[in-house]
């Protein structure tokens, strides 16, 4: 979305824009492409399956070590102090949880394949469709300290985003999504693969660069925590921004277009932004 | 509008048809190439199949990482086993002189070996990591006869596809494909860290499969069966672990 249309042009287009507004009001516009929506929900399914089964697997040894080796005869750097599904782990609890590792491991790796397959498709789509460049790469003007601080303050106040923000990600959103997509997910896949003995044999450097088998396991756990924090903030922000609208946009791809009866009356400034959006809607910039 | 949707329908239909026939061809090739694990048909078996096929295509001959002597764990953990039975204790009392490893199935010269005989065969050693599916690991030096040497001695037939191995413990057995059975690091291990293989770690004989998780390195082995089909063993998924809900291929 491009809001920097010159004033004069906006004014000139005011009449036709209002006419267009009436037309578009009956025809909701595309917010997210089908590729983004499908990969988003496939990733959601895979992530929740991985999280649940990963949690079950951790319960069979809820202790973490650095380096290559670690077992109950060694000191962990992190002991979750949770009950375990194995009686060989000294937990301090007087009971042992049922063993769920069989199906958990099967499903964990099946969901991992789904996540990786979806991720590869999304990566190719994002590169070739311009999705990354257009929707995720922040404008350089947004990366100034002042702009970042302003956006952060807005978020910290849980300020409900204006209608103009419904059509484009703000700078913090862009940076967060980029970090999740290009740092956390790849780290998750790498540390996960590094724990596989078959992968270790075929690509030993993949384990050595991380610092060892147990370090890979610890990092896998730590990145999980970061992803869970992301998920929680992500869902809270959906509620802050308007659950119905955002869910509709990510499921059906469309949103109530601006200026319909459902939306409140527009301030002059908002009106200008929306008209500018309508003007630029001739180019397919919806994602 | 209808022109576009018709075109979309046709190209979409063609893509689906091409994808489906591509999958069918891939499945046939995978079956012929031995890329389908015996537990492919269980729940979540699709993921297992992808993993096994990917590992066999990308790293069939890869060697498990070996470590310097200084990396050997000073505090390895011997995972618990079911209580050892009377027969084991009887054999242990006389230092396993009567322990036999029997090899049968698709072999030209099926026979059994005493522990002394096994120990007289050429050995291989490696300092490798063993890891449990629970997540813990230790590093040790394992010494033993390469399984491929035993297979040679009994004249394994060319159509053998799996080696089934059994513990002295009731209903405890596993199997591996030929990629692992013939792998130079797969050992009938009888020594650990320069000494006799201690009983808690699987002595007198343990099948050591370093490219897979610990549950494939079965302790107290007494019996090898060479076969081209796992259907007639247990529930047909290739091992006591996979019959009990764990993946047959444990390279992940």
- Specify if B233 maps to a domain: yes
| CATH number, domain with residue B78 | 3.90.420.10
Cβ contact (<8 Å) for A57 and B211? no
- Specify if A163 maps to a domain: yes
Of A15-19, A269-273, B170-174, B239-243, the range with the lowest mean pLDDT is A15-19
- Which among A57, A106, A197 has CB closest to B247? A106
Backbone torsion region of residue B125, taken as left when φ is above 0, otherwise alpha when ψ lies between -120 and 50, otherwise beta: beta
Q: Which stretch of DSSP H or E encloses residue B18?
A: helix B2-32
- Specify if A263 maps to a domain: no
Residues B190 and B221: beta-carbon distance below 8 Å = no
pLDDT band at B3 (very low <50, low <70, confident <90, very high): low
> In this predicted model, what pLDDT tens digit does every residue of B48-73 receive, in sequence order?
999 999 999 999 999 999 999 999 99
Taking the CA of residue B106 and the nearest CA in chain A, the distance in Å comes to: 28
Instruction: Classify residue B38 by its DSSP letter.
Output: T
> In this predicted model, what pLDDT tens digit does every residue of B98-129 receive, in sequence order?
999 999 999 999 999 999 999 999 999 999 99
Tell whether A202 is within 8 A of chain B (Cβ): yes
Smallest CA-to-CA distance from A180 within A113, A131, A119 is with A119
* Residues on chain B touching A214 (C-beta within 8 angstroms): 137
- Specify if B22 maps to a domain: no
What is the full DSSP assignment across A68-134?
S-B-TTS--SEE-----S-TTS--S-S--PPP-HHHHHHHHHHHHHHHHHHHHHHHHHHHHHSHIII
- Specify if A202 maps to a domain: yes
pLDDT band at B21 (very low <50, low <70, confident <90, very high): confident
* Residues on chain B touching A86 (C-beta within 8 angstroms): 134
pLDDT of residue B23: 82
Give the chain A residue whose CA is nearest to the CA of B139. Answer: A69
pLDDT of residue A46: 98
| Omega before B204 within 30 of 0, i.e. cis | yes
Cβ contact (<8 Å) for B75 and A71? yes
* Residues on chain A touching B213 (C-beta within 8 angstroms): 197
Strands (DSSP E) contained in B88-246 are 100-105, 111-114, 124-131, 137-146, 162-167, 173-177, 187-192, 195-196, 206-208, 221-227
- Specify if B54 maps to a domain: no
CA distance B149 to A28: 71
CA distance B136 to A218: 11
- Which among B55, B75, B80 has CB closest to A73? B75
* Residues on chain A touching B53 (C-beta within 8 angstroms): none
pLDDT of residue A27: 55
CB atoms within 10 A of CB A88: 17
pLDDT of residue A23: 44
* A221 phi/psi in degrees, rounded to 5: -70, -45
Cβ contact (<8 Å) for B136 and A107? no
Full domain range(s) for residue B122: 65-243
* Residues on chain B touching A198 (C-beta within 8 angstroms): 51, 55, 59, 62, 211-212, 251-252
Tokens of B105: 């199935």
Tokens of B249: 């291929």
* Residues on chain A touching B132 (C-beta within 8 angstroms): 61
- Specify if A131 maps to a domain: no
Pairing of β B162-167 and β B124-131 = unpaired
pLDDT of residue A28: 59
pLDDT band at B204 (very low <50, low <70, confident <90, very high): very high
- Specify if B222 maps to a domain: yes
Full domain range(s) for residue A228: 137-252
CA distance B217 to B140: 13
pLDDT of residue B2: 56
- Specify if B94 maps to a domain: yes
Taking the CA of residue A65 and the nearest CA in chain B, the distance in Å comes to: 9
- Which among B131, B179, B184, B240 is the top mutation candidate for probing chain A, defined by the most A β-carbons within 10 Å of its own β-carbon? B131
User: Within the 84-123 window of chain A, which residues sit less than 8 Å (CB to CB) from chain B?
Assistant: 86-88, 101-103, 105-107, 109-113
Taking the CA of residue A127 and the nearest CA in chain B, the distance in Å comes to: 22
pLDDT of residue B6: 76
- Which among A71, A106, A199 has CB closest to B136? A71
CB atoms within 10 A of CB A8: 8
Give the chain A residue whose CA is nearest to the CA of B131. Answer: A197
Give the chain B residue whose CA is nearest to the CA of A196. Answer: B252
Of the two residues B26 and B190, the one the predictor is more confident about is B190
The tally of domains found in chain B comes to: 1
* Residues on chain B touching A66 (C-beta within 8 angstroms): none
Predicted interface score ipTM higher than 0.90: yes
pLDDT of residue B243: 97
Q: What's the distance, CA B100 to chain centroid?
A: 21
- Specify if A71 maps to a domain: no
- Specify if A216 maps to a domain: yes
* Residues on chain B touching A202 (C-beta within 8 angstroms): 55, 58-59, 62
At B220 the three-state DSSP class reads coil
pLDDT band at B169 (very low <50, low <70, confident <90, very high): very high
Count CB pairs under 8 A between chains A and B.
Answer: 131
At A211 the three-state DSSP class reads coil
- Specify if A30 maps to a domain: no
Tell whether A168 is within 8 A of chain B (Cβ): no
**Percentage above 90 pLDDT, chain B:** 86
pLDDT of residue B141: 98
- Specify if B17 maps to a domain: no
- Specify if A224 maps to a domain: yes
Taking the CA of residue A204 and the nearest CA in chain B, the distance in Å comes to: 7
pLDDT at B31 over 60: yes
- Specify if B34 maps to a domain: no
User: Within the 58-97 window of chain B, which residues sit less than 8 Å (CB to CB) from chain A?
Assistant: 58-59, 62-65, 67, 71, 73, 75-77, 79-80
* Residues on chain B touching A197 (C-beta within 8 angstroms): 64, 129, 131, 210-213, 250-252
The tally of domains found in chain A comes to: 1
Taking the CA of residue A35 and the nearest CA in chain B, the distance in Å comes to: 15
List chain A residues with pLDDT less than 70.
1-28, 257-287
């Amino acid at each position: 979305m491009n809001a920097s249309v010159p004033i004069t042009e906006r004014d000139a287009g005011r009449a036709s824009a209002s006419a267009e507004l009436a037309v578009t009001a009956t025809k909701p516009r595309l917010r997210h492409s089908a590729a983004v929506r499908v990969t988003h929900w496939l990733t959601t399914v895979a992530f929740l399956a991985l999280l649940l089964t990963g949690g079950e697997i951790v319960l069979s040894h809820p202790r973490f070590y650095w380096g290559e080796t670690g077992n109950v005869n060694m000191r962990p750097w992190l002991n979750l102090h949770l009950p375990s599904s194995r009686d060989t782990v000294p937990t301090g609890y007087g009971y042992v949880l049922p063993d769920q590792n069989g199906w958990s491991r099967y499903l964990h790796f099946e969901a991992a394949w789904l996540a990786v397959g979806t991720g590869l498709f999304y990566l190719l789509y994002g590169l070739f469709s311009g999705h990354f460049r257009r929707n995720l790469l922040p404008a350089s003007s947004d990366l100034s300290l002042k702009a970042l601080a302003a956006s952060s303050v807005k978020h910290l106040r849980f300020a409900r985003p204006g209608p103009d923000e419904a059509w484009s990600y703000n700078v913090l959103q862009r940076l967060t999504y980029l970090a999740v997509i290009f740092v956390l997910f790849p780290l998750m896949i790498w540390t996960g693969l590094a724990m596989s003995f078959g992968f270790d044999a075929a690509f030993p450097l993949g384990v050595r660069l991380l610092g060892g088998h147990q370090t890979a396991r610890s990092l896998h756990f730590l990145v999980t925590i970061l992803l869970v924090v992301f998920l929680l903030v992500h869902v809270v922000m959906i509620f802050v921004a308007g659950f119905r609208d955002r869910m509709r946009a990510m499921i059906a791809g469309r949103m109530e277009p601006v200026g319909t009866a459902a939306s409140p009356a527009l301030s002059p400034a908002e009106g200008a932004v929306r008209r500018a959006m309508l003007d630029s809607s001739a180019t397919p910039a919806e994602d | 509008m209808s022109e576009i949707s018709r075109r979309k329908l046709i190209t979409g239909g063609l893509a689906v048809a091409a994808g489906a026939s591509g999958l069918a061809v891939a499945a046939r090739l995978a079956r012929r190439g031995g890329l389908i694990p015996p537990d492919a048909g269980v729940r979540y078996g699709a993921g297992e199949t992808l993993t096994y096929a990917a590992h066999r295509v990308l790293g069939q001959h890869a060697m498990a990482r070996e470590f310097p002597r200084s990396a050997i764990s000073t505090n390895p953990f011997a995972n618990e086993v079911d209580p050892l039975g009377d027969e084991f204790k009887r054999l242990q009392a006389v230092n396993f002189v009567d322990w036999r490893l029997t090899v049968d199935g698709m072999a030209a010269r099926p026979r059994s070996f005493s522990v002394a005989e096994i120990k007289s065969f050429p050995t291989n050693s490696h300092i490798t990591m063993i890891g449990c599916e629970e997540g813990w690991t230790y590093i040790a030096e394992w010494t033993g006869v390469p399984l491929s040497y035993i297979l040679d001695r009994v004249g394994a037939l060319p159509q053998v596809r799996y080696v089934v191995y059994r513990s002295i413990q009731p209903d405890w057995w596993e199997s591996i494909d030929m990629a692992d059975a013939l792998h130079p690091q797969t050992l009938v291990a009888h020594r650990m860290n320069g000494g006799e293989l201690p009983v808690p770690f699987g002595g007198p004989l343990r099948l050591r499969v370093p490219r897979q998780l610990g549950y494939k390195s079965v302790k107290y082995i007494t019996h090898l069966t060479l076969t081209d089909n796992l259907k007639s063993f247990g529930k047909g998924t290739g091992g006591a672990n996979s019959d009990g809900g764990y993946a047959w291929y444990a390279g992940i």
